[in-house]
Amino acid sequence: MKISRCRVSGNEYYCVINGEDVRLLSAPPFEQIVYNGRTIKKNDVAFLPPVSPSKIVAIGLNYRDHAKEFGKPMPEEPLIFIKPPSAVIGDGDDIVYPAMSERVDYEGELAVVIGRLAKQVSVEQAKDHIFGFTIMNDVTARDLQAKDVQYTRAKGFDTFAPVGPWIETELAPENLSVKTSVNGILKQDGTTADMKFSVYQIVSFVSQVMTLLPGDVISTGTPPGIGPMHKGDSVEVAIQGIGILHNRLV
């Protein structure tokens, strides 16, 4: 099932996308799907980012060949950082190049959407706390990442967390192709099979640190092939079984 959020007549709704039809929901979808009875044609809908997270937790260096290109050893345990909810934009929205930076990179990533509160869950329990999967572009001011001790500034600018185009609730995450292209040229061509820490290990690990709430997003790290974007560039992240997240840099 494909789930997103949309704005209709000034009101925001969660919705289910079914072919050309968009069915509005009367409540968040995490507990159960409750339709409000209205169906709208997809072309008439203004979509929003599919989630409104209390936090975005991202994983650094989860693909061996990305760690290699970065000249860093693989972490012994998941390396986590936070992107603020204010960075979230949706499919088709513009990424804004910050005046402070001279190098802004794409990072195409599989993102987990939490469905049930998760506090200190085991790897085996993690699956029951996942609502579905979406795509994130972990946009990074690479020069500022190198300059600062930690990632808050480099990863936290407004618009640096494009997410979407929807949440796919029926998906096995173990072996999905992750492709990022800039202006139609393929830059990243990885598979989630190369992740060091699995989706379930990551959810369990993060939940030992902080309580995860329904709608929270965990971005699972990027495959090799990172590189810069320039103003005017069009960036697409495609993940098998989900779809394509498209944004432009302005």
Q: Which residues bind Mg ion (CB under 5 A)?
A: 107, 138, 222
Check residue 206 and give left, alpha or beta (phi > 0: left; psi -120 to 50: alpha).
Answer: alpha
Which is closer to Mg ion, CB of 98 or CB of 169?
98
Which is closer to Mg ion, CB of 58 or CB of 114?
58
Q: How many of the other CB atoms lie within 10 Å of CB of 16?
A: 19
**Residue 194 corresponds to which tokens in the numbers above?**
């190369």
Measured between alpha carbons, how far is 40 from 29 in angstroms, rounded to an integer?
A: 18
Measured between alpha carbons, how far is 137 from 105 in angstroms, rounded to an integer?
A: 9
Residue 167: beta bridge partners? 3
What are the C-alpha distances in Å from 135 to residues 65, 95, 103, 117, 123? 20, 15, 22, 21, 22
Q: Least separation, in Å, of the C-beta of 14 and Mg ion?
A: 26
Which is closer to Mg ion, CB of 107 or CB of 216?
107
Nearest-CB residue for Mg ion: 138
Q: Least separation, in Å, of the C-beta of 97 and Mg ion?
A: 18
Phi, psi of 208 (to 5 degrees): -75, -20
Q: Least separation, in Å, of the C-beta of 100 and Mg ion?
A: 19
Q: Least separation, in Å, of the C-beta of 19 and Mg ion?
A: 32
Which is closer to Mg ion, CB of 24 or CB of 203?
203
Q: Least separation, in Å, of the C-beta of 143 and Mg ion?
A: 16
Instruction: Give yes or no for a contact between 166 and 2, defined as CB atoms under 8 angstroms apart.
Output: yes
Q: Least separation, in Å, of the C-beta of 220 and Mg ion?
A: 9
Amino acid at 247: N
Which is closer to Mg ion, CB of 6 or CB of 58?
58
User: Measuring CA to CA, which residue among 187, 179, 116, 101 is closest to residue 147?
Assistant: 101
Residue showing tokens 């960036």: 235
Which is closer to Mg ion, CB of 27 or CB of 193?
193
